[in-house]
Structure 1
């Protein structure tokens, strides 16, 4: 994912995942933000200006999980997590 000039690309990508499966999001950013995973458990990651920032997490409960950037107010990934 790339954050540049207040824009996020790509936006709202859709992926399938399994409960307990490691998920990694790679971010290149020109601004600070906060990446928030709305899942059980929830995860929050600080995004800083720079390239190749890697954020890993897993989800323990099946369902739809949105990952969003708070300051940019954008959903960047929606995961469909299955058991």
Structure 2
């Protein structure tokens, strides 16, 4: 769960693991609009709205390290280690 409130992001610089081709789901609650960028192959961008309980789902096709960042707040939310 990602929370954005008053410009504060929780968590920041989190760590997680995933598997290539398996769905990764992020749940976001925010009081402001932003964009969530997933730096993976393929790349993904999601528009965050100022509302609770938003769900974003994606897959990653190539193993490695994937950073998920908030564009406007310039914060890394989580780095996912994607295994084959």
TM-score w.r.t. structure 1 length? 0.98
Are 1:7 and 2:8 matched, yes or no?
yes
Q: CA deviation at 1:13?
A: 1.1
Q: CA deviation at 1:61?
A: 0.2
The ranges of structure 1 where at least 4 consecutive aligned residues each deviate by more than 3 angstroms after the TM superposition are: none
2:27 is aligned to 26
Q: Distance in 1 between matches of 2:13 and 2:49?
A: 20
Q: Distance in 2 between matches of 1:10 and 1:38?
A: 18
The one-character-per-residue Cα deviations of 1:5-57 (angstroms, maximum 9, x if unpaired) are 11101111101110001000000000000000000000000000000000000
2:67 is aligned to 66
The runs of 5 or more residues in structure 2 that have no matched partner are: none
Q: Distance in 1 between matches of 2:56 and 2:82?
A: 18
The runs of 5 or more residues in structure 1 that have no matched partner are: none
2:40 is aligned to 39
User: Which SS does the other structure have where 1:20 is aligned?
Assistant: coil
Root mean square deviation, CA, Å: 0.5
TM-score w.r.t. structure 2 length? 0.97
